[in-house]
Amino acid sequence: MIPSATPELPDLAGMTLVDVEALVARLGWPKFRSEQVWRWVHDKGARSFDEMTNLSAAQRGELATHTRVGSLTVAEVQTSRDGTQKLRLVTRDGFSIESVLIPDGEKTTQCISSQVGCAVDCQFCATAKLGLKRNLDASEIVDQVYLGRKLLADAGPERRITNIVYMGMGEPLHNYDNLIRSLQILTHNLGAKLSQRRITVSTSGLVPKLERLGNELVRPNLAVSLNAANDAIRDEIMPINRKWNIAKLLGALRAYPLEHRRRITFEYVLLAGVNDSLTDAAQLARLLRDVKCKVNIIPYNPHPEAPYARPSDAAVDAFQNECKRLGMATYLRRPRGDDIDAACGQLANRAQGGAAIVPLRIRKGPPPAPAVD
């Protein structure tokens, strides 16, 4: 089992409306109080019980004895030259995680984390070098969005979060139950009201979990971190491929139920001299020719924990042009926030000066052993 947070009072941010209704019933309150409490947290973003002004002082006190509100605190906000903002957030047991706000015209995408660290060990990813400390619970996943929403609101009423991508620290499908609960909360029409069509979950390819995800009522967009067109290269840069190789992964993806006009996104990080040749492009086109998909080409974002290099602009253009010539829908994702280590693959809890922040464990006992299920 992958470890989770130490149990304590439940955070309202991680409770569904059904959970709040059950709580209100146990407290002997009228049922309409459920929606009031829910809206304070999930719609209005309340971070203290004192803000819940349509509850009496006695009711707020009673609520505080059974629940809490606000799982994370903002420790640091870094702003890139391109406007990207990276939030370092601290959990109640002292771990640091990161979330990124990426502005794009009228839209703002928030990249959120699902775990403290990661167990998948992709060789090009800085987060992998942290190892896995524990899963984030649903309240910690959701609270990243609410803190991001507050930061944008403080900057001006015209800015809001329009898209969510589960592409931060961790493998979301390793934290499946909390992933699904957070999706249920964030898409609720009495709360954050995010459309599932504007939410994307990225995975390295946990084949058994893909079937479960395809059967959920809330089904986000799916992005798969592929990064190689053959098993030899993918085995080297993504060890998870040795458990579920490309053939098994594509078999699961071909069976994945896609709604009208939806496609699977494949993420392909270009590593100079590793997977960026025209031969690689041609092999990728053959591999995905019968999959309803698009490919995001991501030039590698360098960091000190990996030995790879970003290909030249000419090599990136040549790779994309070859993919397009062979009929693939490809999109080039230019780095955003790479000057503050906020770009794809760079999240590793770095301070302003560039030094890594060692997560502080307040919980006592031996460190949990990472597990890949």
In tens, the pLDDT along 280-296 reads 999 999 999 999 999 99
Please provide the CATH number assigned to the domain covering 73-340. 3.20.20.70
Predicted pLDDT at 6: 60
Contact 229, 284 (CB under 8 A): yes
**Of the listed 111, 122, 323, 344, which one is catalytic?**
344
Predicted pLDDT at 228: 98
Q: Which two tokens stand for residue 247?
A: 């053939």
Predicted pLDDT at 366: 34
Residue 279: partners with Cβ closer than 8 Å, 6 or more residues away: none
What's the CATH architecture for 12-66? Answer: Orthogonal Bundle (1.10)
Predicted pLDDT at 344: 87
The yes-or-no answer on residue 98 being catalytic is yes
Q: Give, for 201, the enclosing helix (H) or strand (E).
A: strand 199-203
* C-alpha distance from residue 6 to each of 2, 68, 135 (Å): 13, 14, 11
pTM, two decimal places:
0.91
Q: Which residues of 296-306 are buried (b: 16+ CB within 10 A; e: fewer)?
A: bbbbbbbbebb
| Percent of the chain predicted with pLDDT > 70 | 92
Read off the pLDDT of residues 205-238 as tens digits, 9 standing for 90 and up.
999 999 999 999 999 999 999 999 999 999 999 9
Predicted pLDDT at 343: 72
Predicted pLDDT at 367: 34
Average of per-residue pLDDT across 202-207: 97
Predicted pLDDT at 44: 94
pLDDT tops 70 at residue 328 = yes
**Residue 314 class from Cβ within 10 Å (0-12 exposed, 13-18 middle, 19+ buried)?**
exposed
Amino acid at 66: H
Average of per-residue pLDDT across 107-118: 96
Predicted pLDDT at 308: 95
Q: Give, for 89, the enclosing helix (H) or strand (E).
A: strand 85-90
* C-alpha distance from residue 210 to each of 204, 221, 242, 330 (Å): 11, 12, 17, 23
> Pick from 188, 195, 186, 244: which is nearest to 221 by CA?
195
pLDDT tops 90 at residue 348 = no
Q: Which residues of 217-256 are buried (b: 16+ CB within 10 A; e: fewer)?
A: ebbbbbbbbbbbbbeebbeebbbbbeebbbeebbebbeeb
53-62, long-range: CB < 8 A, 24+ apart: 59/29, 59/33, 62/27
For the chain, domain boundaries: 12-66, 73-340
**Which one has a higher pLDDT value, 142 or 371?**
142
Residue 14: partners with Cβ closer than 8 Å, 6 or more residues away: 71, 137, 138, 139, 140, 141, 142, 178, 181, 182, 185
Predicted pLDDT at 292: 95
Amino acid at 53: T
**Of the listed 51, 76, 98, 158, which one is catalytic?**
98
Predicted pLDDT at 126: 87
pLDDT tops 80 at residue 363 = no
Average of per-residue pLDDT across 13-42: 97
Answer positive or negative: Cα dihedral of 16, 21, 27, 31.
positive
Contact 168, 341 (CB under 8 A): no
